[in-house]
Structure 1
Amino acid sequence: MFNKIVIAGVGLIGGSLGLALCKRNLANEVVGVEANKDNLDLAIRVGAVHSGATLAEALVGAELLILATPIGVALGVLEMALPYLSKGTIVTDVGSVKGRLVERAEAMLPAGIHFVGGHPMAGLEVAGVAGAREDLFEGASYLLTPTERTDRVALTRLKQLIEGLGAKPMELAYQEHDQAVAIISHLPHLLAAALVNTVSADTKEQLLLDLAAGGFRDTTRIAASNPMMWRDILLTNRSQVLEAIEKFREQLNLIEQGMLRFDSELLVGSLTRAQNVRSTLPENRKYCLRK
């Protein structure tokens, strides 16, 4: 489908993309660009990329550049790549916040080089290519955030590639994307972290952790993710996450009021609504996190 794909950042997401691209024969050549030499060597050994190179070397003849770096450095990597991008090259990313990146990338790229924002809704609580999986995107939604300036041929090629990964491409305006992930991805991470910190701040922390069973572990699973990565995500999507926190606070207050007033109807209504909505979630995705 693509002759040469360059992945800048061969961590969990970049490495999983590389594994899927290589093993499913979606590209003739996949080249990794990675600051961590040990991680890049491992990526080559496990088959996540065919070879490694510097950004300048890798981009010669590349048809697609995937920015799979931490969100805080993606624009910097794109700026470094500019002199080496060829006319017709498609650039995409995998970051969980789109607004600033989409706007800056479109302003930065010259005519003939096409940017399409991307965000696979899948992940694991591990870092690096050691945790990468070929089937990470199987059954997951893969969001694309085209604008009026987006080249339709480039968008179609990316959709076909995403389908080849086993994921489901979905278009969303980048503003709508950032609002949505603030609620369904970024807020849950905050809640998981807050719950763990509530236990750790208790005088009986060790007893509580010893007693913690499936409910606590399932609810707090994503709190094990990389703190530095999440710092960048939360600060980059700050306004939308703060709005999500306020919406959550309203729902928590409803439950609290039901308990304070011994209002069984209010409590049951809130819990039943949550039960009904939760039961409608699709269960055909293997590894869904956020991203």
Structure 2
Amino acid sequence: MQIHPTVAGLRAALDAERARGARIAFVPTMGNLHEGHASLMRQGHDHADVVVASVFVNRLQFGPNEDFDRYPRTMEADCARMQAAGVAHVFAPAEAELYPQPQTMKVVPDPVLADILEGAFRPGFFTGVATVVTKLFNIVQPQVALFGKKDYQQLMVIRQLVSQLALPIAIVGGETERADDGLALSSRNGYLSPAERAQAVQLHQALSAARDALRAGDRDFARIEADAMAFLQAGGWSPQYIAVRRQADLQSPAAHESSLVIVAAALLGTTRLIDNLEV
């Protein structure tokens, strides 16, 4: 496994891979890797000859009061996990390498998709994501890129980005990896105290109850959402949203529609967790 701190070094290495006819899969990350990331990297081998991963904590997608400075940097452990997953090349730039000048040119996603749900609570988040992902795509030039479904809205923004900008990249969504109790794996789970970690499964429980109601034919979406919010609030959570939406575009569904997803974000103590379940 080769680690590349510079754009020029990575490009030279990937040019050599392409010269021998290799197909490239790419998994962008912010590090502090867990089994969900590793699963995407292993899946990359199903779609390409060479798997590339990036490790970069992207300042552009953090709000002024969010956790950029304390976001865990665990490069040594990350490298061991990436090597075990068969990653051939790691792009690990310093901030000055990826943003050698202020990034005033930005990619602004469609607000119909990007300014709801996560975007409503984290203004500018998806602009930061779309900008860095576009830049990484231009550097790596993969044929395939893999993103986890846990960040459901992010995956949809990336799909729309690739489609509307006609980028020659296939986007693969990997299923959410979960702990044995159902908690979605997340880099931010490490912020939870032991007591909070035991309680964190309630988010999955709330979503599961909502999914069960929908599968049973209940189409009172507002009540289903309110019941899930009340369940979390009773447990001491501060839920930001629990919403039943269409899988196709994350807009509010009509009662007759199927192919739904329940998306949620909630604070447990000071830790913000997100999750979703498709129906």
Under a length normalisation based on structure 1, what TM-score does the superposition of the two structures give?
A: 0.36
Which is strand-richer, 1 or 2? 2
Which is helix-richer, 1 or 2? 1
